[in-house]
Each structure stands twice: as C-alpha cells, then as structure tokens.
C-alpha cells in the first residue's frame, strides 16, 4: 500500500468538500427531474379527466308555433363549450305538437328529424349519459281534456323506442309557466355573467311567447318572506341556488296572454268582425286553440284609441279586484318591484314585432327601447290599410300584417297597463346575448339545460 504524503492529504482535504457539494447538486438535480416528471405525468393524466367531464344535454322546446331542439355542451366549470362550429346546435320544425291534437302518434313522429339531428352531434359514446328533456309550453297547456296527456305519452313512447339518449319519462312534460319563466331568467343572467352575484346585480325578464307571457326577477329575502299566495294557493316566489348564491325569484306566467293567444282574447272581448284593431280592408280567418274566428276590419278602419280600449278590456286591467298592495293585471301580485327589476330584458315577440315594423335593427342581438316606442309604432300602424301594409312593412311576416295594429297596441298596453311600466322607461329588447365570442339565443332551453346538467 502506498503511503500518503502531506501533499496528498492536503489535496484530499481540499477536494472532499468539492466532491460532496457536486454529489449534493447531482442528487438535487435527479430529484428535481423526478419531480418534474411526476408533475408532467399528473398533468397528462388530468387532461383525459377534463375531456371526459364534458356534459351534453338535449332540450326539445315544444312551443305553440313549432318544435325546436337545442343541444348544449358544458365543461366541468359549467361553462358552455362549442358544439361543432357554434355554441349550441339548433333546429326546428313546424307546426307544433298542439297542431296534432287528433293524432298523438303523428305529433310524436314530428320530432323524429330533430331527434336524428340531435343524436348526430352528440358523441355516440356519450349518448347513454346525455339526458333528453321535452318541455311543452303554452300550446299544449291550452288544449282541452286529456289531449295534452295523450300527446306527451306518445312522445315518451317514441323516445323510449327510438332514442339512444338517456331517457326518463318524467322529463317529458308540459312545463309549468313558472318553470318556463324561471328557466328564462336563468338563461339571460347566466349569459350575462350575473349568476353568483347579489340579487340586485341581476336583471329581470319578461318573455312574450305565443300562448303565454312570463315575468321573473329576483327579490330581497325580506320581500320574499312577505309574499302572498296565488289564488290557487301556489307560491309566487321560487328559491333557487346558483353558483353558490341563493335567489328568491318572483315568477308568474299568464296563460292566454302570449301574443297569439292575446289576439283571440281581444276577439272575445270586442268581437272578431268589425274589429277596430284589424287593418282597414282585411277580411279572413284566425285560428288559435282549436277555435276559428271570422275576422274583418271595422267599417271605419283600425283605430289606435278604440284598439287600446279593447286591449285593456282583454287584459282585465281592473285594480278593484287586486287583493294585494301591488298588482299587475287580473289580480296578480307584481312581486313588489325592487333592485332585481331595475334592469328589464324583454324577449321573444317583443323583439320580433319591433324588428318587423322597423323601430329596432333586428340584425342586432339586443336593442334599447321604451314602451312608448310600441305606442308610437302602433299609432302609425293603425293608420295603414291592409292593401298598403306589405309596402309599408316589408320586413313583416305575411301572417302578421293584418294584426300589426293589434299586436303593437297589445304590447304597449301589456307593458304600461299590465306591468305598470313608465312609458319612457328604458328596457332592453333581446333576441340573443353575447357569451364569449358567440351569440346565444335568450330562450328558456338553456336555463333548462343548466338545471338538468346540474342535477345529473
């Protein structure tokens, strides 16, 4: 064995700390590399989990004028993600289920093309996990006897035998009017990013459909505690929790006061023949709710003042029957107003008719307006003859032309006398709401989908 010299001992004494330091650095590097590998492995493992958290829902809106299907997809944060190139898949057919009152099976099969389209956009492996809901609205609610029940049962049988989606019989129903109003409120406030905020930071909603009109807005807890019951003992206020925040939602649906149904109510109030709301020179027939009305204009032509009286009469705007401190029309409690109603979004036929007569740009998703705009447009429309209507209103649907005076007068009367809005109050007419880089329809099916995917 070689004997160490003092020089050797000196070198060793100097090198040992360096070797130890290098060894420690190498050990730390190895551990760091392992840690990075573990993090990378974890990240790679998490990605399929996020991809797997996609949740689809299929919503059939069985309305009074037609049937529509909506397909939505949500991520794990309940944010909408695209279905194909759009943020939702949408398709529709006409007429609606109520048009097949005498043939329930034919009503069910009218949904076949929509079902095929909906299933084609949902990944096949997710079909068994994708719930399907059919929500029928005022069109079926207005049918007599057990007709609606027989149509709904035919739809249940059809879906059970023909669909690969997750089917539950109880999800094929006639939507209660308050459900429709609630879902509409959820839709608009979700798209605006209001959910999770205080109730005072949400917006109120009025939705004018074909057969019914809904009002919904959030009220304070104090107001909710004092809320009365409806005449049939139901609650005006629904408690819902969304994104960790509890809302007391005032919601009421007025059956037979949607735009198409209101025409029939006005005919019942003042007669369909010699009617002051029909454009001068028109004679024809109007069908709604299984009834046919022989419609003709007044001999003196349409009149804004006389039509206003007819609309007020049809709305039953009679404060003497109000048993609460504040009412809308027909003795219905108005919710008391408050911060949740200060910003009002008014949807569906309000937007459509305003676009047809041209006081808003219907190519835009929303428009600011006032109830007085409907009054001014009505005064103009009531002076137009049916013969000149198409030239005056080239954007109007052919079937709406004879009723433009009536529709505008009714909408103004509903806002001013029915809901008690100041004619000069600014409201937002809404068709779509911008969500991220997309425009999404401001309709109840999205709110229904949010409710559905949250409960699965």
List the catalytic residues.
180
Beta-bridged to residue 205, according to DSSP, are 216, 345
Nearest CA among 258, 253, 275 for reference residue 411: 258
Helix (H, G, I), strand (E, B) or coil at 53: coil
Helix (H) or strand (E) holding 340, with range, is none
**DSSP alpha helices (H): ranges in 287-370?**
304-315, 349-357
Which tokens is 264 given? 């029939």
> Can you tell me the distance from the alpha carbon of 156 to that of 170, in angstroms, rounded to the nearest whole number?
9
Helix (H) or strand (E) holding 9, with range, is helix 6-52
Burial of 429 (0-12, 13-18, 19+ CB in 10 A): buried
> Can you tell me the distance from the alpha carbon of 216 to that of 240, in angstroms, rounded to the nearest whole number?
13
Helices and strands (H, E) in the chain, number of each type: 14, 16
Residue 219 to residues 240, 281, 333, 339, 415: CA-CA distances in angstroms?
12, 47, 13, 7, 20
């Amino acid at each position: 064995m070689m004997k160490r010299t003092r020089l050797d001992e000196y070198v060793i004494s100097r090198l040992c700390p360096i070797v130890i330091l290098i060894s420690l650095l190498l050990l730390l590097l190895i551990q760091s590399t392992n840690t990075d590998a573990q993090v990378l492995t974890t990240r790679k493992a998490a990605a399929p989990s996020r991809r797997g958290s996609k949740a689809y829902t299929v919503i059939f809106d069985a309305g009074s004028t037609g049937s529509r299907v909506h397909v939505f997809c949500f991520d794990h944060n309940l944010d909408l993600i695209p279905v194909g190139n759009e943020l939702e898949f949408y398709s529709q057919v006409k007429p609606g289920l109520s048009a097949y009152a005498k043939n329930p099976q034919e009503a069910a099969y009218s949904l076949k093309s929509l079902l095929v389209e909906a299933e084609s956009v949902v990944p096949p492996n997710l079909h068994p996990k994708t719930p399907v809901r059919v929500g029928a609205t005022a069109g079926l609610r207005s049918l007599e006897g057990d007709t609606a029940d027989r149509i709904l049962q035919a739809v249940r049988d059809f879906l059970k035998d023909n669909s690969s989606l997750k089917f539950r019989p109880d999800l094929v129903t006639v939507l209660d009017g308050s459900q429709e109003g609630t879902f509409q409120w959820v839709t608009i406030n979700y798209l605006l990013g209001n959910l999770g905020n205080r109730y005072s930071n949400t917006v109120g909603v009025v939705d004018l459909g074909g057969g019914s009109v809904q009002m919904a807005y959030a009220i304070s807890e104090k107001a909710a505690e004092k809320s009365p019951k409806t005449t049939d003992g139901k609650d005006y206020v629904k408690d819902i929790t969304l994104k960790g925040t509890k809302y007391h939602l005032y919601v009421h649906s007025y059956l037979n006061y949607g735009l198409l149904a209101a025409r029939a109510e006005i005919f019942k109030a003042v007669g369909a023949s010699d009617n002051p709301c029909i454009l001068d020179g028109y004679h024809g027939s109007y069908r709604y709710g299984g009834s046919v009305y022989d419609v003709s204009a007044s001999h003196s032509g349409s009149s804004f003042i006389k039509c206003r009286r007819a609309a007020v009469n049809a709305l039953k705007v009679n404060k003497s029957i109000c048993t609460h401190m504040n009412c809308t029309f027909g003795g219905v409690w108005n919710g008391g107003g408050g911060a949740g109603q200060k910003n009002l979004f008014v949807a569906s036929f309000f937007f459509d008719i305003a676009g047809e007569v041209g006081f808003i740009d219907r190519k835009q998703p929303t428009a600011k307006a006032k109830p007085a705009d409907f009054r001014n447009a009505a005064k103009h429309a009531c002076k137009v003859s049916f013969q000149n209507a198409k030239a005056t209103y080239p954007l109007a649907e052919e079937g709406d032309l004879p009723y433009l005076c009536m529709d505008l007068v009714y909408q103004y009367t509903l806002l001013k006398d029915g809901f008690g809005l100041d004619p000069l109050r600014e409201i937002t007419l809404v068709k779509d709401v911008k969500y991220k880089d997309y425009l999404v329809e401001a309709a109840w099916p999205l709110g229904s989908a949010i409710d559905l995917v949250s409960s699965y």
